[in-house]
Amino acid sequence: MPRLVSHPDEVKIVTKRFGMGAANIDKYMELGGYESLKKCIAEGPEWVINEMKSSGLRGRGGAGFPTGLKWSFVPKQSAKPKYVLVNGDESEPGTCKDHLIFLHDPHAVIEGTMIAGLAIGAKTGFIYLRGEYRYLLEITEKAVADAYEKGILGKNVLGSDFEFNVITQSGAGAYEVGEESALMESLEGKRGVPRIKPPFPAVVGLYGGPTVINNAETIASVPHVISMGGAAYAAVGSERNGGTRLFGLSGHVERPGIYELPMGYNLKKMIYEVGGGVRGGRKLKAVVPGGSSTPVLLPEEIENLGMDFDQVGKAGSMLGSGGVVVIDDQTCMVEFALRTISFYAHESCGWCIPCREGTDWLKKSLTRFHAGFGTEKDIDNIQYLAENMMGRTFCPLGDAAAMPTIGFVKKFRKEFEDHLNGKPCPFAKHVELAVV
Amino acid sequence: MSPKESNTETMSIFSPQLSARFDVLVAKYPVKRSALIPMLLYAQDEIGYLSDAVIAEVAERIGITQLDVRNVATYYSMLRFKPAGKFNIQVCTNISCMLRGAYELYERFQDELHIGHKGVTSDGVFSLEEVECIGVCCWAPAIQVNYAFHDELTPNDVPKIISEYKSKANGSVKNA
């Protein structure tokens, strides 16, 4: 069972009910649950969208798009039904925050979905969980059934004339489905290949209807934004980055876990104080700041780095999904790069050639390189290949594979050179990787 | 054309419980084929893999071709077309787990079970798989046995996990 951790610097908003049995609907309501929904029904859609806009809440899936603005793009009138789609296909390596949300506070996801539905004028919401999260799907399904029984979901929500239904859905193993258009394809019972944009989902989405797609953490934050008020929520975070984030510390860190910290929290402090430093008192070699697709950062780059979308972007990486992977000085970065690209090669859906071929060739080159058969020219080729994948695919998976690879080659070129001329890897434990 | 499931119940290869569940599933979504992926997963949970018969019946229940079902099913990594062990041990070796010893863990499973990636033990009790990120990064290294997570493991935990599931397998044989 995933362990809960805590640290005095945490600001518990989304996690405030964790470990309190809030998966039980009575407990959830005793702790103030569904009060935000009541308030939203009373105040109406326009008020909700304005609160969301003033909260500065930005998409927690990785792109960081302002949530209130996204909701406002949905046309008021639509011939086809509108939908809310919650993305719980959490699959980015280094990311496990939604796991805890569904485990400890599934009703917050339901309440957030309903508020989103009210705001955009939808009557149906879908909560999509990755297939591996079966036990979390069961917890969520129970929560949905309980909400129907209490008259929270259904025809007359809490006695009002607002109608809303929630449908849960299971995936069956696919990273690509975390991309919003592939997610809609999967929910329609198809292969999870991306759609071309435009049209954007807010106009033509699920079953052709206008659709808002939000990450599970974003949706779980919504009831808290409403109960605190948009302005108060915004004040917790940094400039243009409202609220808190569930940061997942993993890898070579003394106290790994999910910590809820204000947006803009210093990364160095996060690793050394919140996470207790590098495991075994070793030296820090590198940090992947926001899930495996975000370019690696060096220790000197994190000194004054605040963890929000803008500051990490300025530092040449991305805040992504908030999965902070700590890497110590005993790690081979060529192996790390290889393991990262192996994942993307495995997950590329094959729809776009630059991604399908690019990830495969990067994996082949890095495999050969790590085994000691690389040439000087390979180092440049790897970078050249990765650079030519950027921006040439329907969805961001190609970029997600290319960006970290470019980062590894640029920042750890010396380690690549150390593998040349048949020299054995100075760190190697595992030269061959089995995942095919 | 609106295919009705009038005959599927009597001819079904699935248990009455699963058939009933499928009846609910196909009516649950605005469009029937949205039920496809969960149906395939639940069918696999009961039958063990997506046999020709499973694909045929799911196709008929949804009202699409078998080819269409195969086209979708081959996309998803959790769906399989060959039987796995009664307990499918999935070891994550992605970055967060790798940094905390996932390969040592995976090697220990291989040594104890004498099988490799996607192998099945001769008694059919276990299969082993190296898998991509399973969303347990902060409690690494982690595995999934069927749907059950086991986290913060070391190679020394491996024999205990194996014997725990072995006794479960023996228990279910006795009860059967």
Tens digit of each residue's pLDDT (9 = 90 or more) over B161-176: 999 999 999 886 544 3
Specify the pLDDT at position A370. Answer: 87
Residue A268, in any domain of the structure: yes
Question: Reduced to 3 states, what is the DSSP secondary structure of residue A421?
Answer: coil
**Residue pair B32/B63 in contact by the 8 Å Cβ criterion:** yes
Q: Domain check: are A286 and A379 in the same one?
A: no
Is the pLDDT at B19 greater than 70? The verdict is yes
CATH at residue A186:
3.40.50.11540
Q: How far apart are CA A46 and CA A358, in angstroms?
A: 45
Among B133, B139, B146, most A C-beta atoms within 10 A, so best to mutate, is B133
A contacts of B39 (beta carbons < 8 Å): none
- B/e letters for A298-330, b = 16+ CB within 10 Å, e = fewer, are eeebbeebbbbbbbbeebebbbbbbbbbbbbee
Residue A359, in any domain of the structure: yes
Q: Domain check: are A256 and A284 in the same one?
A: yes
Residue B147, in any domain of the structure: yes
Are A248 and B138 in contact (CB < 8 Å)? yes
CB contact, 8 Å: B116 with chain A?
Answer: yes
Q: How far apart are CA B78 and CA B97, in angstroms?
A: 20
Q: Domain check: are A263 and A404 in the same one?
A: no
HEC states along A311-377?
HHHHCCCCCCCCEEEEEECCCCHHHHHHHHHHHHHHHCCCCCHHHHHHHHHHHHHHHHHHHHHCCHH
Please give the residue of chain B at the shortest CA–CA distance from A348: B75
Residue B10, in any domain of the structure: yes
- Kindly report whether the peptide bond that precedes residue A198 is cis, defined as omega within 30 degrees of 0: yes
Residue B129, in any domain of the structure: yes
Which domain-ending residue is among A269, A294, A328?
A328
Which domain-ending residue is among A203, A219, A236?
A236
Q: Domain check: are B14 and B94 in the same one?
A: no
Q: Residue A376 corresponds to which tokens in the numbers above?
A: 């000087």
A contacts of B75 (beta carbons < 8 Å): 174, 191-192, 349
Which domain-ending residue is among B73, B108, B129?
B73
Q: Residue A361 corresponds to which tokens in the numbers above?
A: 């060739």
Which domain-ending residue is among B73, B107, B133?
B73
- B/e letters for A206-245, b = 16+ CB within 10 Å, e = fewer, are bbebbbbbbbbbbbbbbbbbbebebeebbebbbeebbbbb
CB contact, 8 Å: B59 with chain A?
Answer: no
Q: What is the mean pLDDT of chain B?
A: 93
Q: Domain check: are A283 and A337 in the same one?
A: no
Question: Reduced to 3 states, what is the DSSP secondary structure of residue A44?
Answer: coil
CATH at residue A372:
1.20.1440.230
Count CA atoms closer than 13 A to B9's CA, side-chain side: 8
| Full domain range(s) for residue B13 | 3-73
pTM score, whole prediction: 0.95
Q: Which of B105, B117, B118 is nearest to B159 (CA)?
A: B105
Are B35 and A189 in contact (CB < 8 Å)? yes
Q: Is the dihedral of CA A225, A230, A234, A240 positive or negative?
A: positive
Q: Domain check: are A182 and A301 in the same one?
A: no
In angstroms, the separation between the Cα of residue A253 and the nearest Cα of chain B is: 10
Name the pairing type of β-strands A83-88 and A211-215.
parallel
**Residue pair A316/A265 in contact by the 8 Å Cβ criterion:** no
CATH at residue B53:
1.10.10
Residue A79, in any domain of the structure: yes
In angstroms, the separation between the Cα of residue A348 and the nearest Cα of chain B is: 11
CA-to-CA separations, A191 to A197, B61, B66, B68, B134, in angstroms, rounded = 18, 19, 14, 10, 20
Please give the residue of chain B at the shortest CA–CA distance from A134: B147
**Residue pair A11/A22 in contact by the 8 Å Cβ criterion:** no
Residue A362, in any domain of the structure: yes
In angstroms, the separation between the Cα of residue A208 and the nearest Cα of chain B is: 11
Of A167, A257, A292, the CB nearest to B95: A292
Q: How far apart are CA A423 and CA B146, in angstroms?
A: 41
Which domain-ending residue is among A218, A236, A254?
A236
- Spatial neighbors of B111 by CB under 8 A, at least 6 apart, are none
Q: What is the pLDDT of residues B90-147, one digit of tens each?
A: 999 999 999 999 999 999 999 999 999 999 999 999 999 999 999 999 999 999 999 9
B contacts of A250 (beta carbons < 8 Å): 96, 99, 137-138, 140
Q: How far apart are CA A114 and CA A37, in angstroms?
A: 7
Q: Domain check: are A299 and A167 in the same one?
A: no
Q: Quick count: other Cβ atoms within 10 Å of Cβ B130?
A: 21
Specify the pLDDT at position A425. Answer: 72
Residue A14, in any domain of the structure: no
Counted residue by residue, chain B has a size of: 176
Amino acid at B81: F
Q: How many domains does chain A have?
A: 3
Q: Domain check: are A350 and A227 in the same one?
A: no
Residue A53's pLDDT band, with cuts at 50, 70 and 90, is very high
Residue B65, in any domain of the structure: yes
**Residue pair A60/A215 in contact by the 8 Å Cβ criterion:** yes
Residue B131, in any domain of the structure: yes
Q: Domain check: are B94 and B148 in the same one?
A: yes
| Full domain range(s) for residue A263 | 244-328
What percent of chain A lies above the pLDDT cut of 70? 97
Give the ipTM: 0.95
CB contact, 8 Å: B81 with chain A?
Answer: no
CA-to-CA separations, B46 to A23, A140, A192, B15, B84, in angstroms, rounded = 28, 22, 24, 8, 12
B contacts of A179 (beta carbons < 8 Å): none
Q: What is the pLDDT of residues A226-235, one digit of tens each?
A: 999 999 999 9
Specify the pLDDT at position A428. Answer: 59
Q: How far apart are CA A391 and CA A380, in angstroms?
A: 19
Is the pLDDT at A436 greater than 50? The verdict is no
CATH at residue B167:
3.40.30.10
Q: How far apart are CA B44 and CA A376, in angstroms?
A: 48
Q: What is the pLDDT of residues A290-340, one digit of tens each?
A: 999 999 999 999 999 999 999 999 999 999 999 999 999 999 999 999 999
- Spatial neighbors of A327 by CB under 8 A, at least 6 apart, are A251, A252, A284, A285, A286, A287, A288, A296, A333, A336, B99
Please give the residue of chain B at the shortest CA–CA distance from A246: B138
Q: How far apart are CA B129 and CA B40, in angstroms?
A: 20
Please give the residue of chain A at the shortest CA–CA distance from B141: A251
Residue A434, in any domain of the structure: no
Are A339 and B41 in contact (CB < 8 Å)? no
Q: Domain check: are A216 and A295 in the same one?
A: no
Residue A253's pLDDT band, with cuts at 50, 70 and 90, is very high
Of A131, A258, A340, the CB nearest to B138: A258
Among A126, A132, A255, A329, most B C-beta atoms within 10 A, so best to mutate, is A132
